Amino acid sequence: MSRVVVDPITRIEGHLKIETEVKDGQVVEAKSTGNLFRGIELILRNRDPRDAQIITQRICGVCPQSHGVAASLNLDNAFDIGGNIPSNGRIIRNLIQGAHVLQDHILHFYHLAALDYVDVTSVAKYEGDNPDLRSVKDFISRGELGPFVPRYEGDYRLPEKINQEATAHYLKAFEVRKIGHEMVSIFSGKIPHSVGIVPGGVTSTPTIDMITAFLWKLRILQEFTDNVYIPDVLGIASVYSDYCAVGTGCGNLLSYGAYDLEDNNPDQTIRQRLFKQGSTSMNLGYKPLDINLINEQVNHSWYDNETSGLHPSQGNTLINFGKKEAYSWLKSPRYSGEVHEVGPLARIAVTYASGDKRVCELVDWALGHLKAPTSALFSVMGRHLARALCAKLLAENLEKWLLELKIGEPCFIDYEMPDESRGFGITEGSRGALGHWIEIKNKRIANYQAIVPTTWNASPRDDSGRPGPIEQAIEGTKVKDKNNPFEIVRIVRSFDPCLACAIH
């Protein structure tokens, strides 16, 4: 038996350690440790409830926009205006969140995940005239290779030409995702930490030039998604086809749904959304969402056991560091008592299970291309593929929504803040199901709780000792070379973890 530790796991957001016990080349135990606590839930207490929208975005600088949306839905709900948001306000929220998530998926595949598969040093032999690659070649010839070396060595399987092409795409993707942020900025002022989404709708007012600029920036992301991103994911999945069966995980998937498609429905759990609310498992049967079935367990987390098992509307964050059996700052959220994975795979699988025509078409096409069964979705490559299909769906729908905006119509509805109230806001961040819960007393925040996508995915063992989704995905995996444990980091990164989010 030997201990294999990866600390830090890089090319994710934040501070994550994975500790494993490997016996006869196979992981027998995996532990996921979140390494930074800030206490944003405690910081939110006693503040003006409206400030939650600004402060919760600072939970994460990679996915701030989704926190802005969750906080605003939460406050809409607490202020009892969830059914009154003007169409323009609803649509612009979708445009801001959708553009942000679209660029985030591109960023994840190229800048966070790709270097596990693509060998940048192959550009040393490049003889063509692509200026980006000439520039990388010069860089390599100077001999100082940070930040691309050191790295795990060994399992890079792409042919030289494909490696070089993929490196060019890695560089191109920096430009493309930047344009995605420009799209967000058009309606939301700036990003990271944007300002446009507020309870009641949005602050900005659409004009023709904003719509036109958004459209033509979007076209760049659409083209890149169709002609570069999706082909690259399919290409890497065929060369690393064994990863279509590695990292299966817990097999239960949960989605809160996102991108509101109808006005006047105050109930977020059944409101019509692009991605559907619900849960599913490996049989791809569909179950509707019941948010009363969520709780957070802390017996293996550095919080007081008295606070374990609470629904987030009653949740508490009480530090108890050094507690026996505990090994992480993450809590362990569970749904219906079971371990659930969240993320693009859950969004796609739940929407597929609900019978959505377009999603079924896309999933069947992609799996057909790989000649893989639906069970292949539950894998490292399945997660990358689902993420790319989420990007494709957003790229298609953003254009449709943009053209539904009505110039001159309102984007915001004023409201009276109640003295006392409760609320919740649920949506899908890039990385999965995101929920905020608030309790207001005397027009101040009495309690605020967030359960964030990576809280689910990177959670430690729960009160019954069941490992979290990433831990389960690693356990049982064969590790060929424990000095270069590619398998572990490839599994972890397929979840696109965000630790600042997860612990907050």
Partner 1 sequence: MVKELPVVWLQAAACTGCSVSLLNTASPTIRNLLVDEVIPGTHINLRFHATVMAGSGEPVIKVIEDTSKKNKLGYVLIIEGAVPDDSEIMFGAIGERGNKPVSMAKRIEEMAQSSLAVLSVGTCASFGGISAAKPNPSGCQPVRTFLESKNIKKPLVNIPGCPPHPDWIVGTVATILLRGLPEADDLDDNLRLKSFYGKLIHENCPRRAYYDEGKFAKKFGDEGCLFELGCKGPITYSDCPTRRWNTHTNWVIGAGAPCNGCTQPEFPDAIAPFYEKLVDVEVGGM
**Residue 346 is encoded by which pair of tokens?**
């859950």
Nearest alpha-carbon partner for 78 in 333, 268, 256: 268
- Which stretch in 37-45, 234-242, 259-267, 399-407 sits in contact with partner 1 by CB under 8 A? 37-45
- Should residue 370 be labelled a site residue for partner 1 when binding is judged by CB under 8 A? no
Q: What residues does 27 pair with on adjacent strands?
A: 22
Q: Does the footprint of partner 1 cover residue 36 (CB under 8 A)?
A: yes
Site for partner 1 in 459-498 (CB under 8 A): 489
The interface with partner 1 within residues 4-33 (CB under 8 A) comprises 5-15, 17
Tokens representing residue 38 in the block: 């800030």
Among residues 274, 110, 90, 77, the alpha carbon closest in space to that of 180 is found at 110
What is the DSSP secondary structure assignment for residue 246, as one 8-state letter?
Answer: S
Closer Cβ to partner 1, 1 or 373, answer by number: 1
Residue 152 or residue 286: which is nearer to partner 1 going by CB? Answer: 152
- Give the span between the Cα atoms of 214 and 182, in whole angstroms: 8
Q: How far is CA 463 from the centre of its chain?
A: 25
User: Which stretch, 172-180, 342-350, 370-378, 447-455, contacts partner 1 (CB under 8 A)?
Assistant: 172-180
Instruction: Kindly tell me which of 132 and 475 has the beta carbon lying closer to partner 1.
Output: 132
Candidate ranges 40-48, 257-265, 349-357, 394-402; the one touching partner 1 (CB under 8 A): 40-48
Site for partner 1 in 97-116 (CB under 8 A): 107, 111-112, 115
Q: Is 202 in the site for partner 1 (CB under 8 A)?
A: yes
Cis link prior to 8 (omega < 30° from 0)? yes
| Phi–psi pair at 307, nearest 5 degrees | -95, 10
Question: Is residue 200 near partner 1 by the rule CB under 8 A?
Answer: yes
Query: Can residue 185 be called a binding residue for partner 1 (CB under 8 A)?
Result: yes
Rounded to a whole number of angstroms, the minimum distance from the CB of residue 419 to partner 1 is: 16
Which residue stretch of 59-67, 240-248, 363-371, 429-437 sits at the interface with partner 1 (rule: CB under 8 A)?
A: 59-67
Give the whole-angstrom CA distance, residue 485 versus residue 32. Answer: 15
CA 472 to chain centroid, in Å, comes to 19
The reply to whether 324 sits near partner 1 by the rule CB under 8 A is: no
Q: Is 220 in the site for partner 1 (CB under 8 A)?
A: no
Assess contact for 289 and 269: CB atoms under 8 A: yes
- By CB under 8 A, tell whether 184 contacts partner 1: yes
Q: What's the rounded Cα separation, in Å, for the pair 161 and 206?
A: 45
| Cβ proximity of 477 and 27 under 8 Å | yes
Report the residue from 319, 360, 370, 446 that binds partner 1 according to the rule CB under 8 A. 319
State the DSSP string of 110-168: IIIIGGGT--GGGGGG--S--HHHHHHHHHHHHS--TTT-S---S---S-HHHHHHHHH
Q: How far is the CB of 284 from partner 1 (least distance, A)?
A: 33
C-alpha angle 287/289/290, rounded to 5°? 120
Should residue 405 be labelled a site residue for partner 1 when binding is judged by CB under 8 A?
A: no
Q: Is there binding between residue 158 and partner 1 (CB under 8 A)?
A: no
What 8-state DSSP symbol labels residue 87? H
CB 146 within 8 A of CB 10: no
Stretch that binds partner 1, among 1-9, 236-244, 336-344, 462-470 (CB under 8 A): 1-9
Residue from 61, 231, 235, 309 binding partner 1 (CB under 8 A): 61
Task: Provide, rounded to whole angstroms, the least separation between the CB of residue 354 and partner 1.
Answer: 33
**Is 356 or 471 the residue whose CB approaches partner 1 more closely?**
471
Q: Write phi, then psi, for 198 (nearest 5 degrees).
A: -140, 160
For partner 1, the closer CB: 199 or 423: 199
Q: Are 191 and 135 contacting, i.e. CB atoms less than 8 angstroms apart?
A: no
Q: Look at residue 492 and give its three-state secondary structure.
A: helix
Q: Does 189 bind partner 1 (CB under 8 A)?
A: yes
Q: Does 212 bind partner 1 (CB under 8 A)?
A: no
Taking the complex as a whole, how short is the minimal distance between the CB of residue 131 and partner 1, in angstroms?
A: 9
Q: Are 378 and 251 a contacting pair, CB within 8 Å?
A: yes
Q: Does 47 bind partner 1 (CB under 8 A)?
A: yes
Check residue 264 for interaction with partner 1 (CB under 8 A). Answer: no
Residue 204: helix, strand or coil by DSSP? coil
Regarding 194 and contact with partner 1 (CB under 8 A), the answer is yes
> Judged by CB under 8 A, which stretch of 24-32, 307-315, 372-380, 406-414 contacts partner 1?
406-414
The reply on whether position 38 binds partner 1 by CB under 8 A is yes
- Tell me whether residue 181 or residue 387 sits nearer to partner 1 (CB atom): 181
Asked if 173 and 102 touch (Cβ cutoff 8 Å), the reply is: no
Asked if 278 contacts 291 with a C-beta cutoff of 8 angstroms, the reply is no
Q: Which one of 203-211, 231-239, 304-312, 357-365 is the stretch in contact with partner 1 (CB under 8 A)? A: 203-211
Chain-centre distance for alpha carbon 253: 14
Is 207 among the residues that bind partner 1 (CB under 8 A)?
Answer: no
d(CA 153, CA 116): 10
Count of residues engaged in binding partner 1, rule: CB under 8 A: 89
